[in-house]
Amino acid sequence: MTQDSNRIVVITGAGIGIGRATADAFGRLGDHVVVTDILEDEGRKTVDAIRASGGSAEFRYYDVRSTEETESLVADIEGRHGRIDVVVANAGIAHKAPISELTDEKWDFTFDIDLKGIFRLARAAVPGMKKRRSGNVVALSSVMGVAYGWDEHVHYSAAKAGVVGLVRGLAVELAKHGIRVNGIAPGYIRTAQLLNEQHSLGEGGSVKAAEFIPMRRLGAPDDIADVITFVASEGARYMTGQVLAVDGGLLVGRY
């Protein structure tokens, strides 16, 4: 265990992909992980895996689109555990839609999850963190939000770019209260979302993408999870307001 162990860590979208890998990583550090997702079976499997490895975890069904559920979740965790030390706002979606088919409803749905969902949870968790003058918020953006546009995903790119502004604004506002806020911008990571041919690259596109990534491979969820745990650790104590691209050299390798 490290000096950061035994924290209360809340992770959204922790049933699969990057969220699950992040939950596992915090569990190995000795933290108590509150696994949240709308995928109940997957979320409970994440908890079971952490416990089977000797870690501490619990599952809470949680839809990041609901302000009421957000406030209830935070109140319950703080009531039972006394605090929330780390929030990892990971839940997100990516649905392909050309501009001609991008309705108000599709736009709002993406923003409600990928951007406003992060804001809701941070807003609810910050008061308790302020009282303790301690806390970490880590928000998931994307290279498609910090550097690239994405064909037929303008709503996704816009929302993920919004995460960058949210991170910077919250970091400045909350630094004086002992709260750090940072973001992670993953590149091409081998997840179910990336391998979905309808809404993302699919298997074939992923193979092609790996060819022009300087490290010559797709990222794995663990590659992101380990950076998240570092950003939330004492080792990153003087870092706030940053959005780190974790992409195998993708951004610096494309000209």
- Could you give the residue numbers annotated as active site? 156
Using pLDDT thresholds of 50, 70 and 90, give the confidence band for residue 5. Answer: low
pLDDT at 195: 54
Distance from C-alpha of 110 to C-alpha of 115, rounded to nearest angstrom: 8
How many whole angstroms from its chain centre is CA 65? 15
Q: What percentage of the chain reaches a pLDDT higher than 90?
A: 78
Of 211 and 196, the structure prediction assigns the larger pLDDT to 211
Strands 179-186 and 243-246: parallel
Of 243 and 198, the structure prediction assigns the larger pLDDT to 243
Q: Any idea which architecture 8-253 has in CATH?
A: 3-Layer(aba) Sandwich (3.40)
Cβ atoms of 146 and 244 closer than 8 Å: no
Answer whether 0.85 is exceeded by the pTM: yes
Least confident of 34-43, 140-149, 166-175, 204-213: 204-213
pLDDT at 1: 34
pLDDT at 213: 86
pLDDT at 2: 40
Residue 17 has pLDDT above 80, yes or no: yes
pLDDT at 200: 54
pLDDT at 10: 98
Distance from C-alpha of 105 to C-alpha of 2, rounded to nearest angstrom: 45
Of 191 and 157, the structure prediction assigns the larger pLDDT to 157
Q: How far from 164 is each of 46, 87, 230, CA to CA, in Å?
A: 28, 16, 19
Buried b (16+ CB within 10 A) or exposed e, 60-74: bebbbbeeebbeebb
Using pLDDT thresholds of 50, 70 and 90, give the confidence band for residue 63. Answer: very high
